[in-house]
Structure 1
């Protein structure tokens, strides 16, 4: 089964910034784990902010968003800097004598996750600047040093041409999975930061397409939809969170990445489980997983979700960056700059067909020892994470798998 995730992330900033210092000596891996944990806390906080807006499907990449805001963090100063630092849950990682620490950690985390190219997780960042707009050379150098960012000159006055140019960049970076990232653009825009992330994973144990058949999915007590339900019987890592009223299943991809599915028990409202999702809970699920024989029934689904984060992040204390009080003096000496728009778009496809699925043989089914079933036929949550660092790459909530 291939799981294709692509996501584009965009900053329209009347100015946008990023500090980056010289790459220092390698940091201890526990510090990278600490960054992963804090990024996970940021993810859970952001998820709760998004879920407050609606009861629909949710999907986003906390790693992509936090990486982009690390750029803003390094461009900012004063209250703006403090608000972003707090919003990202990175206050305890800040070292006044080591301004390069946080961007270096993000760089090392990315290197650790991609394992020097063996894992297909492509992140990219680009800074689109208004022509003749002066950005501090140090800022540009640091952006390229830590994030290998592209810096491009754009005539924002030509809104139609700029929209086409930027959308084409995102489309190429996400292998045609994120298209039409932006549809409108303010001609007064000075700087825009785009961050994209692309993940394609192949299940270690692919689902056999011959076993996929339509089955009911219960959105709630009154709404039922038919979905293509995949099937696989094997030994899986599983745990039962009795206090939360939910079960957890791990579906590993190749190259050290896994999807964790959190399925509320039958009769348990997903909103109750929703409130219990925390970073510490997530880590406890991973630790408590044990191998057991299961029949897994899981729907195929596709999701494409977009968020205007400038409407969401103020709820996490990030206010001044979007107002006239924004302090982005580490980016440029020009005054009166703020972030006017932050768009995040994520796309995911989960199915049974992968690069190795066609060559895989079905596991023989033993007629005895009847396995337990794990049937994902009601709203559920999922998390895609890098196992070595516990870094949360993507997270989502599926209320209706037929809604793309």
Structure 2
């Protein structure tokens, strides 16, 4: 038995598209020189429509401090950083639905949802606030339509307490209705009919019979908005204009234009233009934020919490507005995002929702399993109509003389629509490509949020980019709770797992493939991995990379011929047969192979004592990287310095560099990001330095939600005085536990299915031993990693940025976005018995975009 909770269903679009020629001519007059409406080139000087009264043109705007909107901005920001595509969400719709869950919950479940929404601890204050919001939204007017409806459907086994029913009805205008969920077809028809009626047919089929299997209760919150611009666009003046999708990619797009008095500002803070476009009566308005540069939108979303304060600078100007028509639908799966924000108990077996079912007996205890929102928007010349749907599934737990401003939205921009009285955000979104109609954002799990793009792979780029998801998971589960330095090579681990994957089947195959984010089809994931492995061979003036896979197998066993073929052809592996009875000889052969492949940096990976008498095969991977800095540190500037670790100051060798480097302060992570390029520019090291001295653990926990592909666009060339430690690390780790935590579990049990490796036999994996050597100094970086997998067992004017605390680093390919090495440094090279020199008093230029973190 489960509760399927559709938390929000709303609708937004700009004007019904089915307006007639007569409607347009009544407002704007007939088109000049043409019998019908056609797209026309822009006129020399767009005039304010003369048939509008002075009252129509008046528009009072007085920005005020808004409350209960912190969640709205955070939600928008989190969705925005996951990709660069169009998106549309309704923060208010989701918030109203979650507020009902707050009323139905107790204990930690109640506290978490309430805290994430930023609600007052006094329930009466919360209820009064939401009652005011709903009353405002339900105000009737002849100039717009806004229908808000909430309903809780309950099955025969669910009996909400009378107190909860009264609160839902009195404060949230939510009615409770009985429904027989056992008759799924009829129940779905009834639900869809109610939703379709409120959204005027925009969402005719929210649920189907399959969605209602086992459902005991369903909560719906619907919102429908239809309005008209106060200053409408003349369709006769709509013209084709280029919209910049990327710097070198444009699309011809129908642009609307008008010239009128609007509240407007050219924001210095965001380097962007902000325009308020009111609807008739002034109860609602759309705000458009257009960055002045093509790459400026990520910076706006990165600091979106400051938008509300920036609206206070809007003043009335005569503005020449040119914005594109756009229409798209969007689907977002939000359960992972809500977990990230702190709503976790609601998804666990310990969830508590007694308000939804009296007594919470074992048969009707519930937990949230899915949160989904569907939405859409159409933007054209006359006005507005809006639609969106969010599903939360709960299951059983078992003037002319003024300067004229110009706004041309010919590049990706942000918009939001708010209720001007309560300052609540009805909808927020981004337009990256006005020509696209469909979009989706999905968070299937808490740890798979980051998005990456690879431009250079013909046809396979998007699939290969998913390999990066594994990298952040691996770092988190390896480093989060482990003190000291951590150094891992996700590239090396992936190479080893790829060879195991080829011989696995059933649950074991599914777990490895899922962790690596590979296609479910063998032909496809073989191509993905082969392409990936081909990228790990580089020999240029500035960078050398060498990757090697080796399979060492018992001479007493017969390998599957298909497996041998794939290992050699796809995974570029060397194959050697050995007598595992002589463990000294086996370890000597394998260690010599690793020594050669890592240029002597890793002398060995396996000891004779580590080789089980039952061992049948060892799979090994060796990865070597050597890079020279594009801008080297001057050794003369290297001197002792203080590195803070767990409250103690340790003397370490600090290098210093004065150069223009890509740099950003990433508010989402409360950390500074700086990029050090290797010679040639194809590879780089990214340092992430937490603003707080003890912020390393929080930084690592947050990385799954703000990964490298999202950080990179935020960095800009900046004059930097960088002070950072030299470090040399030899690191060894049994990766079995981190991989188990990443849900690769059956591989390490007797239930492992490796039936594709041998003819007539199968095996299991005991452990994975991973060794990494890395040295970072003034000239560059030398790194090597080795992973071994053994089947029974398995082995395998400057910004001053002073890196004087534990930090995270990545070495990556800039063209492909692939991470070769990653880790955290908590204990750099210690200099014994040397006093720390006081820092020289160097005047630093202040840069508002990068808050001075330490000085």
Q: How does 1:194-273 map to 2 (within 5 A)?
A: 194-255=220-281, 256-273=283-300
Larger deviation, residues 130-139 vs 215-224: 130-139
Tell whether the 8 Å contact from 1:237 to 1:289 is kept in structure 2 after alignment: yes
What is aligned with 2:34?
none
Which of 60, 63, 68 pairs up with 2:92? Answer: 63
Offset at residue 395 of structure 1 (A):
0.9
1:328 paired with 2:353, answer yes
Tell me what 1:187 maps to.
Answer: 213
Report the CA distance between 1:214 and its aligned residue: 1.6
**Matched residues in 2 for 1:331 and 1:151: separation?**
10
Per-residue CA shift, 1:25-67, capped at 9, x if unaligned? xxxxxxxx88x522x2101111122224322111111111111
Aligned to 1:276: 303
Cross-structure match for 2:431: 398
Equivalent in the alignment of 1:165? 190
Deviation at 1:126, TM superposition (A): 0.9
Instruction: Specify the alignment match of 1:126 in structure 2.
Output: 151
Tell me how far 1:113 sits from its aligned partner: 4.2
| Displacement after TM superposition at 1:15 (Å) | 7.4
- Greater relative contact order structure (CA < 8 Å, 6+ sep): 1
Could you tell me which residue of structure 1 aligns to residue 418 of structure 2?
A: 385
User: TM-score, normalization: structure 1?
Assistant: 0.82
Match of residue 310 from structure 1: 335
Output the CA distance in 1 between the equivalents of 2:431 and 2:302. Answer: 15
8 A Cα contact 1:305 1:347, kept in partner: yes
CA distance in 2, matches of 1:208, 1:263: 22
- Residue aligned with 2:429, SS: strand
> What is the aligned partner in structure 2 of residue 341 from structure 1?
370
Match of 1:150?
175
Aligned counterpart for 1:105 among listed residues 125, 129, 134? 129
Aligned partners of 1:48 and 1:369: how far apart in 2?
35
Deviation at 1:70, TM superposition (A): 0.7
Deviation, structure 1 residue 88 = 0.4
Question: How far did residue 211 of structure 1 move?
Answer: 0.2
| Contact 1:177/1:347 (<8 A) preserved | no
Counterpart secondary structure, 1:232: strand
Distance 1:116 1:94 in 2: 32
What 5-or-longer segments of structure 1 have no aligned partner? 1-11, 18-32, 356-364
Asked which structure has the greater CA Rg, the reply is 2
2:106 to 77, 81, 96: 77
Work out whether residues 70 and 103 of structure 1, in 8 Å CA contact, stay in contact via their aligned partners in 2.
no
Task: Confirm or deny: 8 A CA contact 2:153 2:218 kept in the other structure.
Answer: yes
Cα distance 1:88–1:314, how it changes in 2: closer, same or farther (>3 A)?
same
1:175 match: 200
Distance change >3 Å, CA 311–CA 168, structure 1 → 2: farther
Shift of 1:116: 5.3
| Conserved 8 A contact 1:158-1:187 | no
Deviation at 1:89, TM superposition (A): 1.2
Query: Equivalents in 1 of 2:378, 2:117: separation in Å?
Result: 28
Corresponding residue SS for 1:291: strand
- Superposition RMSD in Å: 2.5
Aligned partners of 1:385, 1:190: CA distance in 2, in Å?
34
In the superposition, relative to structure 1, how do residues 282 and 152 fare at CA in structure 2: closer, same or farther (>3 Å)? same
2:311 to 260, 274, 286: 286
| Number of the residue aligned with 2:160 | 135
Q: Deviations over 1:291-336 (max 9, x none)?
A: 2222110111122222222232111100111221111123321242
Aligned to 1:359: none
SS of residue paired to 1:338: strand
The CA distance in 1 between the partners of 2:264 and 2:405, in whole Å, is: 11
* TM-score normalised by structure 2 residue count: 0.40
Deviation sequence 1:210-231 (CA, Å, 0-9, x none): 0001211111123322221001
Q: Is the 8 A contact 1:15 1:190 kept in 2?
A: no
- How many residues align? The count is 359
Contact 1:233 1:295 survives alignment (8 Å): yes
User: Which of 5, 9, 13 is the matching residue for 2:3?
Assistant: 13
Aligned CA distance change for structure 1 residues 370 and 71 (closer, same or farther; 3 Å): closer
Q: Secondary structure at the match of 1:37?
A: coil
State the distance in 2 between where 1:55 and 1:182 align: 29
Out of 102-111 and 193-202, give the one that drifted further. 102-111
